[in-house]
Chains A and B, each alone.
Chain A
Amino acid sequence: MPVKLTVTGAHAVAQAMRQINPDVVAAYPITPQTPVVEYYATFVADGMVDTILVPVESEHSAMSAVVGAAAAGARTMTATAANGLALMIEIVYIAASYRLPIIMPLVNRALSGPLNIHCDHSDAMLARDSGWIQFFTENHQEAYDFTIIATKLAEKENVLLPAMVNLDGFITSHGVESFEMLDDEVVKEFVGTWNPKYSLLDTENPVTFGPVDLFDYYFEHHRQQEEAMNNAYEELPKVFEEFAKISGRKYDFLDLYKTDDADYIMVVMNSTASTAKYVVDELREEGKKVGLIKPQVFTPFPKKEFQKALNGRKGVVILDRAMSFGKEAPLYSLIKSALYEVPSRPKLGSYIYGLGGRNTSPKMIRQAFEDAFNDNLVADEQRYLGLRE
């Protein structure tokens, strides 16, 4: 029987990792990811998992170690945040191009500088073009569930891509909340046994990983990565369906909250969606037809789902917790371009919020909705919530 645990988000993620039982975990501590690996190290020390835990000397080494282990045929995981991701980014791209299904919780934190340890999504956006599948989670339950879902998807033979599960630093990782943990056996059966396509340890079938790949084949390998991402998009609904069977929780590319008859829709990722749902409820009570979309999947980007959900609406406000200096914000630019061909384009507004852990209050969320109600949305203008002038 599933049990309710009231713990931190970091603990919830560590429990998912314990149930998946990877062969190798290599990690380096960085706030606010540290407790994920701390809890996991306890499971290793207590003999609850079969994992070899490699305490490396940097994140560059952490990702290198899991790439090596994954190429050897191991099921592998690591976890990081912000500058840790920045330090390992070279190998993050390599993991994807070698098609190694490494799973990595990314505890979202602002990239330096100036130095900041609190939540925003600049770290996730640093890796948006790395070829990793990217999930975003609102709370403990989702962080736990998507760690399991990510493993199932990443290891599919027609996918074989690494996947990161984003959870908000401190808000989710250190906040205490209840979530439902599935039975160990149920998760074990769901993720199954990892049978690598290629293994450096398979001496009967010797293979080479990482040879130089020049203008003659590099292009073709990138096209394969795109195909794998397309396959991930095709496979995901099936994985969501299978996960619903074991958990009773049915996920989709987009979490649609009160959008059916909504004239005005907000799009926001991760924990701020909880605040936005609260504001949507308030506005609904005031008679406003509003709704919320929380993307659970950022890569592969659910373009068709956005087209379907946003076509014909009056106004859509999109909140980004990261900037793309000199260009439109990451989530906003993708949604804006997705709507290019829809028959009835809504008015759009781009809002930056919560950088460096800046608190995002219901009042700020309401302000973005008010702009939509007042027909005060300018598609080419970037606005800021909670910024001092």
Chain B
Amino acid sequence: MSNLKGWKEIPIGGVIDKPATSRLYKTGEWRVSRPVIDREVCINCMQCWLYCPDMSIEGSIEGKRMKLGEFKMEYCKGCGVCAAVCPVNAIVMKPESEFIDE
């Protein structure tokens, strides 16, 4: 939470003083476990990208194929769907306590 503002810098009363600010709000903070992917094992099938309910997994097009991108931890809720659908078990869910100081 080190990138968040201090108490002297924010509007009082919990007021949001500008419109359309929800895209600035990071919703991944209450995750208890996170997906960690082994890129050596990944076959770029894009199943995890397709199933992720929060669109937290990025993908891009390379030629005629898609390529798996980054897992965006700002929005990932740690639901584990990506790990569950991975056909080659390239994704494992690790407890958030292992990353607490990041």
- A residues touching B (Cβ–Cβ < 8 Å)? 97-100, 160, 197-198, 205-211, 213-217, 219-221, 223-224, 227-228
Residue from B12, B19, B30 within 8 A of A221 (CB atoms): B12
Q: How far is the CA of A211 from the CA of B10 in the complex (A)?
A: 14
Nearest A residue to B10, CB-CB: A220
Q: How far is the CA of A211 from the CA of B21 in the complex (A)?
A: 12
Q: Is B19's CB under 8 angstroms from A209's CB?
A: no
Residue from A160, A207, A227 within 8 A of B17 (CB atoms): A207
Complex interface: chain B residues within 8 A of A100 (CB): 13
Complex interface: chain A residues within 8 A of B13 (CB): 97-100, 160, 198, 209, 221, 224
Tell me the chain B residues, 13-54 only, with Cβ under 8 Å from chain A: 13-19, 29-30
Tell me the chain B residues, 41-82 only, with Cβ under 8 Å from chain A: none
Q: Is B30's CB under 8 angstroms from A214's CB?
A: yes
Q: Is B14's CB under 8 angstroms from A97's CB?
A: yes
Q: Is B29's CB under 8 angstroms from A216's CB?
A: yes
Residue from B14, B17, B29, B30 within 8 A of A213 (CB atoms): B14
Q: Taking the complex as formed, is B1 at the interface, i.e. its CB lies under 8 A from any CB of chain A?
A: yes
Q: Is A217's CB under 8 angstroms from B10's CB?
A: yes
Q: Which 4 A-B pairs have CB atoms at the shortest separation, nearest pair first?
A: A99-B13, A220-B7, A208-B16, A223-B7
Q: Is B1's CB under 8 angstroms from A211's CB?
A: no
Complex interface: chain A residues within 8 A of B15 (CB): 98-99, 198, 207-209
SS class, residues of chain B in contact with chain A:
loop
- B residues touching A (Cβ–Cβ < 8 Å)? 1, 4-7, 10-19, 29-30
Q: Is A210's CB under 8 angstroms from B17's CB?
A: no
Q: How far is the CA of A215 from the CA of B4 in the complex (A)?
A: 11
Complex interface: chain A residues within 8 A of B18 (CB): 206-207
Complex interface: chain A residues within 8 A of B29 (CB): 214-216
Nearest A residue to B4, CB-CB: A216
**Of listed B1, B16, B19, residue having the most chain A CB within 10 A:** B16
> Closest Cβ of chain B: how far from A237's Cβ, in Å?
23
Nearest A residue to B9, CB-CB: A220
Q: Is A207's CB under 8 angstroms from B12's CB?
A: no
Complex interface: chain A residues within 8 A of B17 (CB): 198, 205, 207
> Closest Cβ of chain B: how far from A260's Cβ, in Å?
41
Q: How far is the CA of A223 from the CA of B11 in the complex (A)?
A: 12
> Closest Cβ of chain A: how far from B2's Cβ, in Å?
11
> Closest Cβ of chain A: how far from B44's Cβ, in Å?
35
7 A-B pairs within 8 Å (CB atoms) are namely: A99-B13, A160-B12, A198-B15, A211-B16, A216-B4, A217-B4, A219-B7
Q: Is B6's CB under 8 angstroms from A220's CB?
A: yes
Complex interface: chain B residues within 8 A of A228 (CB): 12
